[in-house]
Amino acid sequence: MDKLRKYAGWIGLAVITLIFIQAAVLKLMGVQAMVEVFNKLGYPAWFRIVIGVLEISGSIALLIRSSTRYGAILLALIMIGAMISSLVKGAAGDAIVPVIMLFLLVWIAVVRGPVNRHIAEQPPASKTR
């Protein structure tokens, strides 16, 4: 059962990573739909590029065990910004996907911690007086 859980976790992580990489590539390529979304929200073109670069960075960090939490936190902050931007512009329906992604990223940050393979277990400290 642990192997199944491990593989399911990796598959889920890969899917989320691919979703963010796809979104980032669309932003960086300047696909008309992405340009329109950022224009509608009132952001300049350079901000779309910055978000795309941050999404790729966060996606790569998700896959590296020692930096998974940092990647999840970075992407979660982007999702919080997307939610707030959508709500401020009165497009509450556009906030649904960022909310779902936010919950998944928080779950990843909580569940998937770094592996400390190089730190040997130390015996409990004894008290001597």
pLDDT in tens, 1-60: 788 878 888 888 999 999 999 999 999 999 999 999 999 888 999 999 999 999 999 999
Q: Which residues, in sequence order, are CB contacts of 95 under 8 Å at separation 6+?
A: 82, 83, 86, 87
| C-alpha–C-alpha distance, residues 28 and 43, integer Å | 15
What residue spans of the chain are helical by DSSP H? 2-29, 32-41, 45-63, 68-88, 96-111
Structure pTM? 0.81
